[in-house]
């Protein structure tokens, strides 16, 4: 059985989930491949059709944003919806979702099921994997956990992944988030949070007294939403709120609501370890 996963990761958590899931797929005797949404090759229609045609199970992996998907993943699903998959040898595929969460997700792993069904992907697997926070921001000063604790979570996640892979390979479902209470909580999160997330580009700024003009934020932005022009930083609406610029700024100059959390007390998240680098997402 061949598993193909398309993923988006802002600071590395979902990268780890996707990579580890794919490694375990192979360990259990199946084939696996995974592609970052930042990889330009996957936006070629013929490439996508070939990948879909050769895969038995197709999944998407993303960080949970208030029980929903980041904007960039919604856009990718819309992009897939423009393609004609009617001539594929096996049009109806097994679909699955993998999510990375810092604290909690209501029904965030189930949210794209209708969109996936349109693409011929019957959602049979949906699972959340707790990693760590990348949100040491002024209004939510939640530090990343220690590497020791993160390793413990990774081990628990591996057990969940094995269960998911085994069930999917046997044609069985493995779904999280179907509890009515979780569905209600997820709905509340989306009602009150989706609009704010979509408008977050309005809230970013740069503290020029700290900025060294290294322009790492501009270079690393996955959606090219940060522009430096005429000695000014401009944040565009295409921002997908991935927190990459905030966490990776060497001088902690990126601000939200014109504020930043004290980096001495509230650590920035620089990835899940294991040699992670931003280039791994491209």
Query: Are the C-beta atoms of 57 and 3 separated by less than 8 Å?
Result: yes
- Between 62 and 189, the higher pLDDT residue: 62
Q: If you average pLDDT over residues 112-139, what whole number do you get? A: 92
Rounded CA-CA distance 30/57 in Å is 11
Reported confidence tier of residue 136, pLDDT bands at 50, 70, 90? confident
pLDDT of residue 187: 67
Contacts of 237 (CB under 8 A, 6+ apart): 201, 225
pLDDT of residue 98: 98
- Determine phi and psi for 47, rounding to 5 degrees: -60, -45
pLDDT of residue 196: 63
pLDDT of residue 86: 56
Q: If you average pLDDT over residues 162-168, what whole number do you get? A: 97
Q: If you average pLDDT over residues 6-28, what whole number do you get? A: 98
pLDDT at 140 over 80: no
- Determine phi and psi for 198, rounding to 5 degrees: -70, -20
Domains assigned to the chain:
2-132+140-190 (3.40.50.360)
pLDDT of residue 37: 97
Rounded CA-CA distance 36/146 in Å is 26
Q: If you average pLDDT over residues 110-138, what whole number do you get? A: 92
Q: If you average pLDDT over residues 161-165, what whole number do you get? A: 98
Query: Are the C-beta atoms of 216 and 249 separated by less than 8 Å?
Result: yes
Reported confidence tier of residue 145, pLDDT bands at 50, 70, 90? very high
Give residue-wise pLDDT tens across range 216-262: 999 999 999 999 999 999 999 999 999 999 999 999 999 998 999 99
- How does DSSP assign 38-101, residue by residue? T-GGGG-HHHHHHHHHH-SEEEEEEE-SSSS--HHHHHHHHHHHTS--TTSTT-SEEEEEEEEE
pLDDT of residue 200: 77
Query: Strand (E) positions, the chain?
Result: 2-7, 31-36, 57-63, 93-101, 121-130, 136-137, 140-141, 174-175, 204-206, 226-229, 232-235, 254-256
Rounded CA-CA distance 63/45 in Å is 25
Reported confidence tier of residue 178, pLDDT bands at 50, 70, 90? confident
Give residue-wise pLDDT tens across range 54-87: 999 999 999 998 888 999 999 999 999 888 765 5
Q: If you average pLDDT over residues 112-136, what whole number do you get? A: 93
pLDDT at 99 over 60: yes
| Residue carrying structure tokens 């501009």 | 218
pLDDT of residue 177: 82
Query: Are the C-beta atoms of 204 and 244 separated by less than 8 Å?
Result: no
pLDDT of residue 188: 66
pLDDT at 192 over 80: no
């Amino acid at each position: 059985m061949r598993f193909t996963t398309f993923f988006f990761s802002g600071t590395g958590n979902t990268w780890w989930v996707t990579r580890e899931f794919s490694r375990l797929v192979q360990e259990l005797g199946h084939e696996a491949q995974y592609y970052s949404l930042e990889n330009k090759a996957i936006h070629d229609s013929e490439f996508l059709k070939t990948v879909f045609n050769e895969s038995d199970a197709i999944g998407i992996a993303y960080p949970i944003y208030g029980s929903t998907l980041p904007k960039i993943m919604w856009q990718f699903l819309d992009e897939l919806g423009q393609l004609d998959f009617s001539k594929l040898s096996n049009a109806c595929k097994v679909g699955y979702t993998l999510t990375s969460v810092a604290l909690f997700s209501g029904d965030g792993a189930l949210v794209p099921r209708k969109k996936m069904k349109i693409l011929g992907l019957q959602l049979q697997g949906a699972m959340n994997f707790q990693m760590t926070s990348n949100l040491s921001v002024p209004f939510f000063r939640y530090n990343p956990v220690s590497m020791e604790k993160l390793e413990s979570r990774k081990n628990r996640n591996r057990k969940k992944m094995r269960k998911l892979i085994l069930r999917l390979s046997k044609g069985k479902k493995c779904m999280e988030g179907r509890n009515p209470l979780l569905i209600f909580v997820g709905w509340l999160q989306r009602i009150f949070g989706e609009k704010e997330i979509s408008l977050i580009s309005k809230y970013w700024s740069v503290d020029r007294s700290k900025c060294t003009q290294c322009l790492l934020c501009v270079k690393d932005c996955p959606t090219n939403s940060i522009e430096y022009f005429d000695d000014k930083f401009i944040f565009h609406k295409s921002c997908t709120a991935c927190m990459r610029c905030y966490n990776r700024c060497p001088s902690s100059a990126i601000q939200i609501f014109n504020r930043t959390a004290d980096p001495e007390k509230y650590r920035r998240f620089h990835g899940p370890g294991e040699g992670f680098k931003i280039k791994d997402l491209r």
